[in-house]
Amino acid sequence: MNFNDLKIHVLEANHRIAAVGLAKLTWGNVSGYDPDSKRVIIKPSGVPYDRLRDDDLVVLSLDGRVLEGSLRPSSDTPTHLALYRAFPGIAGVCHTHSTHATAFAQAGCPLPCFGTTHADHFFGEVPICRTLTQEEVGRDYEGITGEAIVDCFHSQNIDPLQVPAVLQAYHAPFTWGKSPLEAVDNSIALEMCAQMALLGTSINPSLTPLPKHLLIKHFLRKHGPGAYYGQK
Residue 99: predicted pLDDT? 98
Q: Of 34, 120, 141, 170, which one is the catalytic site residue?
A: 120
Ramachandran bin of 230, using left for φ above 0, alpha for ψ from -120 to 50, beta for the remaining angles: left
Are the CB atoms for 32 and 180 separated by under 8 Å?
A: yes
pLDDT in tens, 147-192: 999 999 999 999 999 999 999 999 999 999 999 999 999 999 999 9
| Cα–Cα nearest to 174, from 67, 80, 34 | 80
229 in active site: yes
| pLDDT score, position 3 | 85
* Residue 122 DSSP SS3: coil
Asked if 181 and 12 touch (Cβ cutoff 8 Å), the reply is: yes
Per DSSP (E only), the strands in the chain are: 28-34, 39-42, 58-61, 66-68, 92-96, 128-129, 165-168, 173-177
pLDDT at 195 over 80: yes
pLDDT 10s digits, 5-22: 999 999 999 999 999 999
List Cβ neighbours of 31 (8 Å cut-off, separation of 6 or more).
Answer: 10, 40, 41, 42, 43, 74, 77, 80, 92, 93, 180
The CA angle 221-179-159, to the nearest 5 degrees, is 55
In this prediction, residues 95-110 reach a mean pLDDT of 98
pLDDT of residue 213: 97
**Quick check: 78 and 132 in contact, CB under 8 A?**
no
User: Which domains are assigned to the chain?
Assistant: 3-223 (3.40.225.10)
Catalytic residue among 5, 55, 159, 229: 229
Per-position b or e across 155-184, b if 16+ CB within 10 A of its CB:
eeebebeebbbbbbbebbbbbbbebbbbbb
Q: Is the pLDDT of residue 108 over 90?
A: yes
Mean pLDDT of the residues in the chain: 97
The number of beta carbons lying within 10 Å of the beta carbon of residue 59 is 20
- Measure the CA–CA gap between 86 and 204, rounded to whole angstroms: 39
CA pair distance 100, 193, nearest whole angstrom: 9
> Which residues does residue 168 pair with via DSSP β-bridges, in sequence order?
129
Is 84 considered catalytic here? Answer: no
Model's pTM, two decimal places? 0.95
**Who wins on pLDDT, 196 or 2?**
196
Which of 76, 53, 219, 212 has its CA nearest to residue 140? 76
